[in-house]
Amino acid sequence: MNQSDGHASDVDLTFTLLVAAQKVQDRIEAALDEHGLSLAKLNVLKALVGAEKPLSLSEVASRLACVRSNVTQMMDRLEADGLVRRQHDPADRRSIVAVITNDGREREAAGSRALEAVQASVTESLASFDSAHIDQALRSL
Amino acid sequence: MNQSDGHASDVDLTFTLLVAAQKVQDRIEAALDEHGLSLAKLNVLKALVGAEKPLSLSEVASRLACVRSNVTQMMDRLEADGLVRRQHDPADRRSIVAVITNDGREREAAGSRALEAVQASVTESLASFDSAHIDQALRSL
DNA sequence: GAAGATTGAGCGCTCAATCTTG
DNA sequence: CAAGATTGAGCGCTCAATCTTC
């Protein structure tokens, strides 16, 4: 007998992990959808709120660890949603900064609360297990 | 003090899970990329090999638990790769079946071996932890 | 009308190429 | 030439609408 000792439906831990993460992701997206947000959009708004000042699109890309063209398109959608405004940087005419709107701030707050609720629910689901142990295991990957 | 007792960098378990899954996913995609495959493509090929007969596109969608239009586009790419052929079903002229090619069979075999290698490596990483415990915890989500 | 497949539009992500400004 | 932003093409996924066949 190898890794499985037959207590469950005998699927590899790898896919169990992937499926679990997908379920959590789906819960998050569903919760944010009620506020007209996605996790990707919320992350941009969080970056802007956290910075406490407008950020250039390159700065946003760097903080989100993604590629610049991704941010360009993300900003198109956020601007269409009225959550962010593009503004030319007078200091460097190559640069464009993203300014969060009042609507953007409100949605960030609502979205963050919704996200925290999901996190709390996930944490609670795992509370009956040894969370520290699971945490270490997942980090070891 | 709430859920964290300060043994690590104090990030929520939810994101630890999401990040861990992303890392595993990235490893899988990188391994499959060496064989000109993605996990999505491999899953289609696995379905066809497993069925031991051509499957209608709707059947594939059903087995992959995805939407039909997704399969339509997936087949476009797999056909362009020469791994699958579309074929009209003489019995039902609405239906189109996907036939795996010899190339498709070879790539499925190579891809499956590569995938298993990653799974083994993930399992090994988790071996020093109580895998049964982690398994139960992840399934509880 | 319902089922099978496709198309068009959109999200979120990548890369390579381009254009402007420094 | 570097850096900032954008565009175009592509992957993988969704949904709504369409077209053919049953």
Residue A130 confidence (pLDDT):
82
- The residue length of chain B stands at 141
3-class DSSP state of B86 = strand
Tokens of A138: 């997942």
From CA A34, how far away is CA A49, in angstroms rounded?
Answer: 21
- Residue B70: CB less than 7 A from any atom in strand C: no
Q: Average pLDDT of B93-106?
A: 98
Q: B4, B5, B10, B17: best mutation site toward chain A, by most A Cβ within 10 Å?
A: B17
3-class DSSP state of A53 = coil
Cα radius of gyration rounded to whole Å, chain B: 19
Decide if A129 and B133 are in contact by the 8 Å CB cutoff: yes
From CA B20, how far away is CA B15, in angstroms rounded?
Answer: 8
Contact A21, A103 (CB under 8 A): no
pLDDT above 60 (res A5): no
B101: nearest Cα among B141, B45, B60, B42: B45
User: From start to end of chain B, where are the E strands?
Assistant: 55-56, 84-88, 96-100
Residue B65 confidence (pLDDT):
97
Beta bridge partners of B55: B98
Residue B13 phi, psi (nearest 5): -60, -35
Contact B50, B44 (CB under 8 A): no
Residue A10 confidence (pLDDT):
54
Instruction: Chain A: give the shortest CA distance to residue B43, in Å.
Output: 13
B21: nearest Cα among A16, A101, A36: A16
Report yes or no: B10 at the A interface, CB cutoff 8 Å.
no
Tokens of B140: 């509880």
Confidence of residue A141 (pLDDT cuts 50, 70, 90): confident
Q: Which of residues B131 and A8 earns the better pLDDT score?
A: B131
Which nucleotides of chain C does any protein CB come within 7 A of? Answer: 3-9, 11-17, 20-22
pLDDT above 60 (res A8): no
Predicted TM-score (pTM) of this structure = 0.90
Contact A4, A15 (CB under 8 A): no
pLDDT > 70 in chain A, percent = 93
Q: What is the pLDDT of residues A68-123, one digit of tens each?
A: 999 999 999 999 999 999 999 999 999 999 999 999 999 999 999 999 999 999 98
From CA A81, how far away is CA A41, in angstroms rounded?
Answer: 10
First to last CA, chain B: 24
Decide if B17 and A13 are in contact by the 8 Å CB cutoff: no
Average pLDDT of chain B is 91
pLDDT above 80 (res B73): yes
Residue B48, Cα to own-chain centre: how many angstroms?
A: 13
pLDDT above 50 (res A4): no
